[in-house]
Amino acid sequence: MDYEHYFAKRIADLKSEGRYRVFADLERQCGRFPVALNHRDDGIHEVVVWCSNDYLGMGQHPEVLAAAKEAVDRCGAGAGGTRNISGTNHYHVLLEQEIADWNAKESALLFTSGYVANQTTLSTLGATIPGCVIFSDELNHNSMIEGIRHSRAAKHVFRHNDPESLAEALSAYPKETPKLVAFESVYSMDGDIAPIKEMCDVAEAHNAMTFIDEVHAAGMYGAEGSGVAERDGQRDRLTIIQATLAKAIGVVGGYIAGSKSMVDYVRSFGPGFIFSSSLPPMVAAAARASIQVLRRTPEIRTRHQERAATCKARLKAQGIPVMDSVSHIVPVMVGNAALCKQASDLLLKKHHIYVQPINYPTVPVGTERLRITPTPLHTDEMMDHLVKSVVAVWDELDLHKVHVKAAE
């Protein structure tokens, strides 16, 4: 085989389909979020980032930075090993205690990313509980799908956010069969939220364990911000709460929280936990400081929701096709990969606004979109500029608009 030719051909195919991914080369500016520098062939440009998953700007919070600096001065750069072989730093222990307490669970376990947390936990449970069957929402994240696939457990996919479809799938098995139901709280591409209570009702009726991915909710929902399960009063009903330290918490890493025995089980049997070096102590210290700030600062969540609601309303008033989102995510439908890329390019080059196009395989073909994520640090002036620029791009490309009764 001519390997080089094969690689080049497959890449050329991606380009001709309009879904070749180009990364924006950014230099984040500490203290100026959401402003960043964008390095391009024609020079360095200042842009406003409107698609960051640093949802609350915690990646530059003074207490988070101070904690990281203190830890790097005390402990150095890396952890020095896997958790078992010299890599458990006291900062990891403190962070796991913080996460368990935050989620009102007995215990918590850190992973190097949210992806690894999902992949390892689901594959370990599915592979090692004899006869375990996994029930998975059809829109679950790739990290959950890969974990389930890797477990080789029997799998049923139920209709998105549909407890009846879940009940139907569960009913096919006797009560004694071990079962695990896996779903997310906030689905980040459409911005909809799972009916957690109803899902737990169904799971309990069939004696199934529940696994929830709160990656797009941790830090942002509930009185202390641990997620939608907290907001909805359902945390004690969920067997496993999973999330990331890289989105609203603003650092990097992932975790699960649950009972002492369940967490100890994944700690003892999960390859992606056991055989990988642990997070740098400075990362654990920064994440813990971030969670502590978020727990005591509900105002940041109020402001975040207000910014998202304002953004949705203002774009809708101009006829921009904002999808029905009940969360902080503002998805705008374009429906074509090439046009979506063009819209994003125009926003960046003409209007100094960075919104990455979202295309297949992240979303289905024909539903390509712009995914806007307003943060508490986006000002009214930035919002004015965003709305004007999106309208200008929609006009320039003659993109689909929705009829509006009353003008803004």
Ligand X SMILES: *Cc1c(COP(=O)(O)O)cnc(C)c1O
Position 220 contacts ligand X (CB under 6 A): no
What character string, x for contact with ligand X (CB under 6 A) and - otherwise, covers 131-170? Answer: ----------x-x---------------------------
Identify the burial level of 20 via C-beta atoms within 10 angstroms of its C-beta, where 0-12 means exposed, 13-18 middle and 19 or more buried: middle
Q: Mapping DSSP to helix (H, G, I), strand (E, B) and coil, where does residue 254 land?
A: strand
Pick one of 244, 325, 359, 367: the residue that binds ligand X (CB under 6 A). 244
In whole angstroms, give the CA distance from residue 136 to residue 125: 14
What character string, x for contact with ligand X (CB under 6 A) and - otherwise, covers 182-201? Answer: --x---x-------------
Position 255 contacts ligand X (CB under 6 A): no
Least CB distance to ligand X at residue 250 (A): 12
CB 293 within 8 A of CB 61: yes
Return the number of the residue (143 or 210) whose C-beta is nearest ligand X: 143
Return the number of the residue (113 or 389) whose C-beta is nearest ligand X: 113
Stretch that binds ligand X, among 40-48, 108-116, 255-263, 310-318 (CB under 6 A): 108-116
Return the number of the residue (136 or 336) whose C-beta is nearest ligand X: 136
Return the number of the residue (83 or 141) whose C-beta is nearest ligand X: 141
Backbone angles phi, psi at 203, to 5 degrees: -60, -45
Least CB distance to ligand X at residue 385 (A): 27
Catalytic residue among 247, 341, 388, 401: 247
Whether 350 is a known active-site residue: answer no
Stretch that binds ligand X, among 3-11, 113-121, 276-284, 343-351 (CB under 6 A): 113-121
Position 263 contacts ligand X (CB under 6 A): no
Helix ranges restricted to H, 152-188: 163-171
In whole angstroms, give the CA distance from residue 357 to residue 113: 24
Cis ω on the peptide bond leading into residue 364 (within 30° of 0)?
Answer: no
The owner of tokens 């003008």 is 407
Least CB distance to ligand X at residue 149 (A): 15
Quick one: which of 19, 11, 18, 22 has its CA closest to 3?
Answer: 11
The tokens of 381 are what? Answer: 């002036």
What is the CB-side half-sphere exposure of residue 233 using CA atoms within 13 A? 0
User: Considering CB under 6 A, how many residues would be counted as binding ligand X?
Assistant: 14
DSSP H or E stretch at residue 344: helix 337-351
- Which residues sit opposite 240 in a β-bridge? 211, 258
Position 118 contacts ligand X (CB under 6 A): yes
Least CB distance to ligand X at residue 401 (A): 29
Return the number of the residue (163 or 254) whose C-beta is nearest ligand X: 254
CB 399 within 8 A of CB 343: yes
In whole angstroms, give the CA distance from residue 133 to residue 178: 6
Position closest to ligand X via CB:
114
Return the number of the residue (250 or 254) whose C-beta is nearest ligand X: 254
Return the number of the residue (266 or 399) whose C-beta is nearest ligand X: 266
Largest CA distance in the chain: 65
Cis ω on the peptide bond leading into residue 34 (within 30° of 0)?
Answer: yes
Position 115 contacts ligand X (CB under 6 A): yes
Position 213 contacts ligand X (CB under 6 A): yes
In whole angstroms, give the CA distance from residue 114 to residue 110: 9
Least CB distance to ligand X at residue 366 (A): 21
Return the number of the residue (314 or 369) whose C-beta is nearest ligand X: 369
Stretch that binds ligand X, among 112-120, 312-320, 352-360, 374-382 (CB under 6 A): 112-120
Quick one: which of 80, 1, 103, 39 has its CA closest to 279?
Answer: 80
Stretch that binds ligand X, among 211-219, 324-332, 353-361, 379-387 (CB under 6 A): 211-219
Position 246 contacts ligand X (CB under 6 A): yes
Query: What is residue 31's DSSP assignment?
Result: T
In whole angstroms, give the CA distance from residue 375 to residue 300: 9
Which active-site residues does the annotation give? 247
Footprint of ligand X (CB under 6 A): 113-115, 118, 141, 143, 184, 188, 213, 215-216, 244, 246, 254
